[in-house]
Chain A
Amino acid sequence: MNGVFDLAGTEGLGPVVVPEAEPVFRAEWEKTVFPMFAMCFRAGFFGVDQFRHGIEQMDPAVYLKSPYYEHWIHTVEHFGEKLGKLDMSELDRRTQYYFDNPDAPLPEHKDDPELLAFVEAVVPAGATAKRESDKEARFQVGDRVRVVRSSPKGHTRRARYIRGAVGEVVLAHGVFIYPDTAGNGLGEDPEHVYTVRFPNSELWGTEHAEPNGSVYIDVWDPYIEILTPSPAAATTTEGAHS
């Protein structure tokens, strides 16, 4: 999906503003929204790739102007509505109620030891997107590759600024959930992930690029096409023939 969230190289947004110090959460409501990611994930609202795609479908003007955690509210509502887990007219009714009665209490409820245990377990353990697979890697470190130029309509992590660009594979990470399927609700379909290095001049043009710099970005196997195989691989092949 070509959207405003894909920000690399966008100009005219103004300076990066860095406060001296700021709290982890800037408002009380942020403390409620942050845990929604993990807890709604547990409740089957979304996977992490779908979570991102929900955010990508926000009103672009609001995306750019709203406080960060408002993005998370949007994606929780998006999937809550889509999956029939949230009645939106009831949500609107309660919103008006709490707006008019900001001190009104939350519904009475009991603690849930299992939910607490989930929090205590998931923070230190995480949930890796890495998958065991015997799928063969089509690329290796040293390969010169070109990023596929097309514009998929759903979720993808193939950022616009690298499409069509030529770079070199510098790291191979193994096999991970593929966002182009998982983010669109089409299953994990794991693929190899590599880091590709692009010189600044390749991305922005020599006359517009900062000198002596490069961008390193991760790509899944289907994102790239071979241009020139690694010289190391060529040597190996020659060796096999001699």
Chain B
Amino acid sequence: MALLAVKGLTFTYPDGISPALADIDFEADEGEFVVICGRSGCGKSTLLRHFKTVLAPHGKREGRVYFSGRELSEVGQREQTSEIGFVFQNPDNQIVTDKVWHELAFGLESLGLSPPLIRLRTAEMASFFGIGDWYHRSVFELSGGQKQILNLAAVMAMKPRVLIMDEPTSQLDPIAASHFLATAKKVNDELGTTILLSEHRLEEALPLADRVTVMSRGTIIAEDTPARVGRALMDAGDPMLHAMPAPIRIYLSIEGAAAESCPVTVREGRSYLRERMRGKIADEDRREGARAESRTVDQTNRESAVLLKDVWFRYGKDEPDILRGLSLQVKYGELCCIVGGNGSGKTTALRAISGILKPYRGRVSAGGLNASTATHTELFRQGLGVLPQDAKTMFTRKTIREDMSDLPQSDEESIRRVAALTEIEHLLERHPYDVSEGEQQRASLAKVLLNEPKILLLDEPTKGMDSFFKQKFARVLSKLKAEGAAILMVSHDIEFCAEYADRCALLFDGAVVSEGAPRDFFAGNSFYTTTANRMCGDLFPGAVTAEEVMRRCDARS
């Protein structure tokens, strides 16, 4: 008997024309780890929220939801609270109290457990998740990844039988995200908790799953084991295939109709490809590949838009240095990506260029001005535009249109132009907080574009974007580039940088340690590189994107 099940669930939001969920049948067995994926707005969150009565959205509903053989509406609130755990997307907003210990105890207090029992349960959870040494800390001292682990632990303290997580890693950087997913796997393996997880980051999540459910437009279009789901998507001809991890895509493109069970991890992909390509790649070929043509445009004679020369920065005299002699140059008409781990100084570098932080040594110039001495208005007139990490911070008005016309240089015509470019025409009259996160990101980009920026600084722009919008976003960037803008992007998204950047720089310990065209850059790294390159780097040196690997395989077979 399935632990959780829905039968014939159809759901329509009060203002919706078409149903958000259409005739869904879904089951999850006790102890199963199910990953639910699909592009933004496909109905993942709506489905997940139906598994807990207090979270179920308002609207027109048909069909039934079952928990442990009973209809969910007959399961009492107290039982639902402890048996069905829910972790939300935003690490900050779901934290209620100010101290870690209080947060861990919150659910148990609601259930009315006695203080000694609460003490035991919080102690157990703190040890299980290895967060014992945070116990007395304030929650705002924690990083985003730590907060999300705390949220998970706070839910697990109630000993739920099923754990539902709605894109829990979308706000986290890749290291924190993989730590979070590994922790979720540990919960599943060691406590036997059933897990339903919706995710964008399939490269990490897919190998953990027992079963993958793919949704599109409110229906389930494929449901199978991770190794077989790719085949099902290929047969359905669904674009979600492009969101699958590189090993699956490469395998399917090679095998085509003969495909069966796909390799899911880098390790499986490597051994498959080595077997498949045995004897087909001569040494000559490899050397050929190593001399791969670089796609950098010759930029020696272009003017530099942003120039950092031996920049040193720290927040206070007694604080540690964050930038340690950083030198970097971005030219007009080029997309430069800065990659690197947390705390390597990426965001600090952006803030120094935009003049918010002033370095104590070295020189920063943007558009010919000294960024440390020029006022923001002067920098802005030189065409500097900054897109912050949190798109919400860009809006101060009641509708997106009002927000845009608030800027001095905007008029009807220019608003129409940028709205068309970012595809937000239909959203102009909406409140900026009422649109989805991806749409907020587009609207804030539109706001920056109004000024026709010549120097565009982007902080983690692809965070939380699904793979479809990333492609769209890349098109917008290349259009800007063609118009001669310089784009500097700070990102954790290695796959995106490999595909679209003209130049990548790896920041570590406050300085650039390696720099080059993405091909040379990523091919030269063995760990900090794309999945495709980790999988095929020894066979096809210089092939950093899955598409490139597929092309080369095609040429061989």
Are chains A and B native binding partners rather than an unrelated pairing?
Answer: no
* Residues on B facing A (Cβ under 8 Å): none
